[in-house]
Amino acid sequence: MLSDTRSAILTAAERLYAARGFADVTLRDIVAEANVNLAAVNYHFGSKDELITELFVSRSLATNRERLNELKAAEAAGGGRAPIDQVLRALVGPTLRGCLGPDEQRSDAARFMIRASVEAIAPIHKIRNREIDHLRKFAAAMRRSLASVDEVEIYWGLHFALAMAHQTIRDSERLQKLSEGRCDLDDVDGVIDRVVAVAATALGAAAKADKPAARRGR
């Protein structure tokens, strides 16, 4: 049976890290949010780093599971091979849905994971290699979907898709200001469509030529 205090700490830490980042959230902030005693953190987790590690591992597994579920559903519907846009959608959809859109729909877990992937925090950096194994599954699905595309292009496409999704979450405020509100970031499905469309187009172009567009102007 999991201690009540234990999960209260995890939830509070997740919420605070998601909202304010790792830099200026202290153990005292966390225990205040969780309404528990300061010493409870070290009692239940051993140290602050171990708390962060456990939180990251737990949320990382959950996110990966969600993405793989979407992927498997898409591939099952297509007889073991899903259209590239559905593969990409499974990759970027869960995180985008968890970070954008109406407040009540956002998840602290998704925003925590974004912070964790961006801020170079010591305990997380050591574990992050596991994410590569997870991404490899998507690279494999993309190759099944686009058999004629060179493997290198697959990696670049996957990388760019994640880049666009990630940065859209992180810099949504800047894009709003820059476009003076004309870019609608509350239309989460629209954003997902855009990211998927651009990445799929890039991969589609790669299917027709081994090299990207001709270089000019150097």
Partner DNA sequence: GATGGTTTCATACAAGTGTTTGAATTGCAA
Partner DNA sequence: TTGCAATTCAAACACTTGTATGAAACCATC
Contact 156, 201 (CB under 8 A): no
Rule CB under 8 A: say whether 171 interacts with a copy of itself.
Answer: yes
Least distance to a copy of itself, CB of residue 56, Å: 16
Cβ at position 39, least distance to a copy of itself in Å: 25
From candidates 12, 13, 18, 36, binder to DNA by CB under 7 A: 36
Contact between 3 and DNA by CB under 7 A: the answer reads yes
Nearest approach, Cβ of residue 44 and a copy of itself (Å): 25
E runs forming strands in the chain: none
What are the helix (H) ranges across 150-187? 151-170, 172-178
Site for a copy of itself in 184-203 (CB under 8 A): 189, 193-194, 196-198, 200-202
Judged by CB under 8 A, how many residues of this single chain contact a copy of itself? 60
User: In this structure, are residues 191 and 96 in contact, taking their beta carbons and an 8 Å threshold?
Assistant: yes
Shortest spacing between CB 10 and DNA, in angstroms: 13
Vertex 164: Cα angle to 157 and 117 (nearest 5) = 100
Distance CA 102, CA 143 (A): 34
41 binds, among DNA, a copy of itself, none (CB under 5 to 8 A by kind): DNA
Which stretches of 78-119 are DSSP H helices? 84-99, 108-118
Q: Positive or negative CA dihedral for 61, 65, 71, 76?
A: positive
Query: Which range binds a copy of itself by CB under 8 A, 29-37, 38-46, 94-102, 123-131?
Result: 123-131
Q: Is 89 in the site for a copy of itself (CB under 8 A)?
A: yes
Q: Does 183 bind a copy of itself (CB under 8 A)?
A: yes
SS3 130: helix
The Cα 98–Cα 115 span in angstroms is 13
What minimum distance in Å lies between the beta carbon of 32 and a copy of itself? 20
Instruction: Indicate whether 83 belongs to the interface with a copy of itself (CB under 8 A).
Output: yes
Question: Considering the rule CB under 7 A, would residue 57 count as an interface residue with DNA?
Answer: no
